[in-house]
Amino acid sequence: MMSTKKSGNHNFNRREFLGAMVVTSSATGIASAVQAFDKKEMWQPDRADVVTPVRGDKYIFFTDDEAALMEKLVDCIIPPDELGPGAHQMGVTFFLDRQLAGDYGHAYSWYMQGPWPEGLPSQGYQTRLTPAMLYRSAIAAIDKYCVNTYKNKFSTLSISEQNDVVSALENQQVDLDGVPRKTFFDRLLQNVTEGYFSDPIYGGNRNMTAWKMIGFPGARYNYRAYVTKHGEKISLAPVGIMGGPSWKAKA
């Protein structure tokens, strides 16, 4: 039996992370409880750490009201025009829905323990709201702002009014009911861009149209033949992780 020394040089009252340790001396069978890495696990057939493409066509995170706002809001960020579809038609609202319903929305991999004092801009995300709750709260606040200002919800405003609201959001002029304004708007821009340009398996970038618009050939893995073709346009149709239209032909 032995106990650990208190570690560290900080006068901070905390749970001693090991408590009082009991060290049992090595008895039969103990070492066998330790799992050394099994070299057979280095490779196994049919083990691929793949992503399951999102399915369905109904929202599972957004309510009808929230969806109505988001569908218009994302189109302000990336509008439909003669160059190509807007964000909503590209599936970005659907993408956001699935992202916010999943690990990302729940800040699964983030450190989300308090305390939660207000941070400096250089300290990044410092709200206890997960991204899902950040959107939910901000959406409600935006509609409240629109009703107060325009007597109508965001989704029923004219496009020019909607753009004015987005400008106000960008300039941190909209009271978001406690949601940090810059944190929300930065995240909105980031997430819409993600939905527009990510692989279609996540629900956005339908038919890889965004990739076609800019000339990105997608989830390919080999450009050896093109490296030294300086200045030449590469005419490769994009493929996604699940393939491309030209793979559909029946053998």
Partner 1 sequence: MSTVTKLPSVDVLLVGFGWTAAMLGQELTETGLKVLALERGAWRDTSTDFAVTFAQDELRYYWRGALYEQPSQSTLTFRNNPNQTALPMRHLGSFLPATGVGGAGIHWNGQCWRFLPSDFVARSHNEQRYGRLAAEYSVQDWDISYEELEPYYDKFEYLCGISGQAGNLQGRIQKGGNPFEGTRQREYPNPPLDMTYGPELFRGAAERLGLHPFACPAANMSRAYVNPLGVELAPCTYCGFCEKYGCGNYSKSSPQTTILPVLMRKSNFELRTHANVMKVLKDSTGKRATGVLYVDAQGREWEQPADLVILCAYAQHNVHLLLLSDIGKPYDPVSGKGVIGKNYAYQIVSSVDVFFKDKILNPFVGAGALGVAIDDFNGDNFDHKGLNFIGGGYIALWNTNGRPIETHLVPEGTPKWGAKWKRAVIDNYLSSCSISTHGGVLAHRENYLDLDPTYTDVYGRPMLRMTFDFHDNERRLSNYLTDRAAEIGRAMQPREIKINGRDGAYSIIPYQTTHNTGGAIMGNHPENSAVNRYLQSWDVSNLFVMGACAFPQNAGYNPTGTVAALTYHAADVIKNRYLKRPGPLA
Partner 2 sequence: MNDHLKYLMCGLIISVFGFFTSGIAQAYPRNEEIARGRYVMLAGDCLACHTNDGGKEFSGNRPIETPFGTIYSSNITPDIETGIGAWSEEQFYRSMHDGKRPDHQYLYPAMPYTYYRQLSRSDVNALFAYLKTVEPVHNEVKSPQLIWPLGWRRLMTLWTKMFLNKGEYQYDAQHSASWNRGAYLVKGAGHCGACHTEKNFLGADKRTQRLQGGEFQNWFAPMLIENSRNGLGGWTQDEIVEFLSTGRNSKTAAYGPMAEVITDSTSQLSVDDLNAIAEYLKTLPMTNDNDRKFVSNNAALQTGQEIFSAQCAGCHQENGEGVSHAFALLQDNANVQQSKPDTLIQAVLVGVRAVPTAAQPVGFAMPAFDWKLNDAQIAAVLTYVRNSWGNAAPPVTASQVRSTRSALVYARQSYNH
Task: Write down the least CB distance from residue 225 to partner 2, Å.
Answer: 7
Contact call for residue 247 and partner 2 (CB under 8 A): yes
Structure tokens at 33: 């409880």
Contact call for residue 178 and partner 2 (CB under 8 A): no
Contact call for residue 47 and partner 2 (CB under 8 A): yes
Nearer to partner 1, 176 or 188 (CB): 188
Nearer to partner 2, 17 or 43 (CB): 43
Nearer to partner 1, 42 or 148 (CB): 42
* Near partner 2 in 99-128, by CB under 8 A: none
List, in order, residues 6 or more apart from 33 with CB less than 8 Å away: none
Task: Write down the least CB distance from residue 205 to partner 2, Å.
Answer: 16
Nearer to partner 2, 69 or 239 (CB): 239
The Cα-based distances of 67 to 11, 109, 201, 210, 251 in angstroms read 50, 26, 20, 22, 41
Task: Write down the least CB distance from residue 117 to partner 2, Å.
Answer: 46
For residues 124 and 228, give the distance between their C-alpha atoms in angstroms, rounded to a whole number.
41
Please pick, from the candidates 41, 46, 81, 118, the single residue that binds partner 2 as defined by CB under 8 A.
46
Residue 60 binding result from partner 2, partner 1, none, given CB thresholds of 5 to 8 Å by partner type: none
List, in order, residues 6 or more apart from 12 with CB less than 8 Å away: none
Contact call for residue 34 and partner 2 (CB under 8 A): no
End-to-end CA distance of the chain: 71
Residue whose tokens read 């706002």: 69
For residues 131 and 103, give the distance between their C-alpha atoms in angstroms, rounded to a whole number.
10
Neighbours of 100 (CB within 10 A): 24
Task: Tell me the per-residue interface mask from 205 to 244 with partner 2, x by CB under 8 A, - otherwise.
Answer: --------------xxxx-xx-------------x-xxxx
Residue 244 binding result from partner 1, partner 2, none, given CB thresholds of 5 to 8 Å by partner type: partner 2
Three-class HEC string of 35-103: CCCCHHHHCCCCCCCCCCCCCCCCCCCCCHHHHHHHHHHHHHHCCCECCECCCCCCCHHHHHHHHHHCC
Contact call for residue 43 and partner 2 (CB under 8 A): yes
Nearer to partner 1, 114 or 250 (CB): 114
Residue whose tokens read 């793949």: 50
The one-character DSSP state at 126 is -
Instruction: Point out which residues bind partner 2 (CB under 8 A).
Output: 42-43, 45-48, 50, 219-222, 224-225, 239, 241-244, 246-251
